[in-house]
Structure 1
Amino acid sequence: MKLTRTRSTATAATAVLAVLALATACNRGSAGSVGSGSDKPAIGIDVPRADSDFWNSYAQYLKKDVHADGINALPMSDSQNDVTHLVANVQVFRNTGAKAIVMAPQDTGAIASTLQELSTAKIPVISVDTRPDKGDVYMVVRADNRAYGTKACEFLGKQLGGEGKVAEFEGALDSINGRDRSEAFAACMKEKFPKIKVFELPTDWKGDVASAKLQSLLAQNPDLNGIYMQAGGVFLQPTLALLQQKGLLKPAGQKGHITIVSNDGIPQEFDAIRKGQIDATVSQPADLYAKYALYYAEAAAEGKTFEPGPTDHDSTIIKLPNGLEDQLPAPLVTKKNVEDKSLWGNNVAQ
């Protein structure tokens, strides 16, 4: 449908100029209006950051699906891992007629007031990968992040024979993902592998922070034999570079190899698994995140509703205090199944 203008003709020009200025200030993406421009409801899409291979892959899938499905997408924005940018970008979407908004807030607490404003304005929100602590959401499109931590723990514990020292690169603990992965990993280690000593290293999802803390840890614990990276998209390259520099990047099966399990499922992790540099990753479904974020955004804009329970795409919708969550599958990838063509990491350009 065509967007209805609520401002008077006398103020329309001023409003347009203000929107354009805000869009420039908030680092709008260069994709332009990638949708069909049809009479479908307008969808606002914010990508959370461009410094992660995972999120860059997600952005590629979004653009591809927008074009393929003829979605009427407003110019895509990038909030640069900054909640103030996200809030400003959301305001641009509101001013330019968005009927639903797709976002991935990295600070899941600070976005609450913005979600409340959108709820009051009857603009439904689809939150990708992260579950906001408060504030109404139409649908969270996410995998079970506690399962990420548990799968990583079980794999590492078995590979190390239940003994050793493990460095854990924790994501930001003000993020539900960082908390879920960290809490599940810790609980699993305590229960199943009590002889493994875990060094919890908060990183705020920053690769340089992880590398610096790992360097200090290795100086004090040269017998470290395991690493859990909660986000391969930001931790993989700096970790491999540091281990290479110190002569510790030994292939799997060779004496002195440090067992590494990651989360994301990016092509670079798959290559590292093939080379024996890392041992496993949990494949976070970037392709399905994009596909179902757009699916639910259009459904929300059209007034459709969903109920908890199994879906027709091998996932389960659960009830949250502030909305619903579609928990998509996220398989563990090792050398045994790294060539599986159904994994999105084998189907995206690097």
Structure 2
Amino acid sequence: MELTRRATLGAAIVAALVATTAACNSAESPSGGEGSSANSQIAVDLPRADSDFWNSYAKYIPQFAQEQGINLMTPTNSQNDIAKLVANAQALSSQGAKAIVMAPQDTGAIATTLAQLGQKKIPVVSVDTRPDKGKVFMVVRADNRAYGQKACEFLGEKLGGKGKVVEFQGSLSSVNGRDRSEAFAECMKSKFPGITVFEEPTEWEGAKASAALQTRLAQHPDIKGIYMQAGGVFLAPTLQLLRSRNLLVPAADPKHVFIVSNDGIPQEFEAIRKGEIDATVSQPADLYAKYALFYAKAAVDGKTFQPGPTDHGSNIVDVGNGILEDQLPAPLVTAANVDDKTLWGNQIGG
């Protein structure tokens, strides 16, 4: 039921985007030379509609497009399907897109499409994920290894360096899933060798995570920690399962299971306030949308960038193969700072 609700919400957001972007496209564009972003269509493919995080990101796209004076095409949604992403990219290209913003969920299968777009001189900005192969104009992302590191240190300290932890790994076909998983494992091995980690591949699917947790709890009822690599898909089914087992108890209760997540969605913040989870790393959904569009516009305008600090509190790094990545800040959120008004999760409806 939860995924159905989210899919319905995602469909509603896409429909709203259609109406909003139609208004943007019909507005008079500022004057500009041929090939400038002032009169060039910029496209966005939304990666999925079953995640509260990505649905939040989708809400920001028309807002920042309008603020930056971008001629935004009606967004597409590839629904976590690489074949749909390829088809959408081809369609957007044929419809006149001069730059495309995308977030490939399978980072190993997009290389051919990137090569085709490169031949057509259509720059690509990759959001949240970095393609394993192929060229993009800019990657807009946070340091995903830091996500795993922060989660490890948080749980390791809460458990006093000993006990059992379940890790819901994202898809290992995604650079994000690999980065978070590798950093979490390396940190646990080096800093908290007394903690046993049960690694559970999920393909970013809440149902798989819930099934894995149910099995592990049956085998190991003394599990005391959970690392969810994506609260947008794992939060609701995890809380539902823990509630059914009477494990949603205050942190002072010996039965409490410490949970750290990734995303920073409003639902996670509310769970932190209730004491149902303990922390999350706030992925900047707002800044992902803002700077993905910023770089797409810059690419059309012929601008270039170099590694180093930016004027928006991030750092551009050279990740090899001629690819630059703007690594945006992603703070750890706990009960101590969950009400911070600067966090995007406190600025957007849940």
Q: TM-score, normalised by structure 1?
A: 0.91
**How far did residue 69 of structure 1 move?**
2.7
Contact 2:25 2:73 (8 Å CA) reproduced: no
The Cα offsets for residues 22-53 of structure 1, whole Å up to 9 and x where unpaired, read as xxxxxx94322343442432101000000000
User: Mind listing any 5+ residue stretches in structure 2 that lack a counterpart?
Assistant: 1-12, 30-37
The residue correspondences of 1:52-131 to structure 2 (distance < 5 A) are: 52-131=51-130
Report the AA paired with residue 329 of structure 1: P
1:44 aligns with 2:48: no
Per-residue deviation, residues 76-117 of structure 1 (Å, max 9, x unmatched): 000000011001111111111111100000000100000011
Where does residue 235 of structure 2 map in the other structure? 236
Correspondences of 1:199-210 after superposition (within 5 Å): 199-210=198-209
Shift in Å, 1:255: 2.2
Per-residue deviation, residues 175-218 of structure 1 (Å, max 9, x unmatched): 00000000000000000000000000000000000000100000
Give distance in 2, aligned partners of 1:200 and 1:157: 16
Query: Could you tell me how far apart the structure 1 residues matched to 2:194 and 2:14 are?
Result: 48
- What secondary structure, in the 3-state scheme, does the structure 1 residue paired with 2:218 have? helix
Contact 2:123 2:136 in 1 (8 A): yes
Question: Is the CA contact 1:36–1:67 (under 8 Å) kept in the aligned structure 2?
Answer: no
Q: Note the C-alpha offset of 1:251.
A: 1.9
Higher gyration radius (CA): 1
Helix, strand or coil for the counterpart of 2:197? Answer: strand
- Contact residue 36 and residue 70 of structure 1 kept, 8 A: no
Provide the alpha-carbon RMSD of the alignment. Answer: 1.1
Question: Which residue pairs with 2:177 in the alignment?
Answer: 178
State the Cα deviation string for residues 40-71 of structure 1 (Å, max 9, x = none): 32101000000000000000011221233331
How far apart, in 1, do the equivalents of 2:337 and 2:175 lie?
A: 29
Counterparts of 2:250 and 2:120, CA distance in 1: 55
The letter for the 1-side match of 2:216 is L
Tell me the residue number matched to 1:348.
348
* Alignment-derived partner of residue 218 in structure 1: 217
Matches within 5 A, 1:177-196: 177-196=176-195
Corresponding residue SS for 1:317? strand
C-alpha distance in 1 between matches for 2:50 and 2:62 = 18
Match of 1:146 in 2: 145
* Paired amino acid for 1:69: Q
Counterparts of 1:186 and 1:140, CA distance in 2: 25
Question: Match of 1:278?
Answer: 277
Aligned partner of 2:246 in structure 1 is: 247
Residue of structure 2 equivalent to 1:5: none
Aligned-partner Cα distance in 2 for 1:210–1:226: 14
Equivalent pairs: percent with the same residue?
A: 66
Distance 1:119 1:88 in 2: 16
Other structure's SS at 1:260 match: strand
> Distance in 2 between the 1:67 and 1:311 partners?
23
1:152–1:185 CA contact under 8 A, matched in 2 = yes
Contact 1:41 1:302 in 2 (8 A): no
Alignment of 1:298-309 (within 5 A): 298-309=297-308
Q: How many residues align?
A: 323
Q: Which runs of 5+ in 1 are unaligned?
A: 1-27
Give the match for residue 330 of structure 1: 330
Provide, for residues 121-168 of structure 1, a one-character-per-residue CA deviation record: whole Å limited to 9, x for no partner. Answer: 111000000000001000000000000000000000001100110000
- CA distance in structure 2 between the partners assigned to 1:164 and 1:190 by the alignment: 13
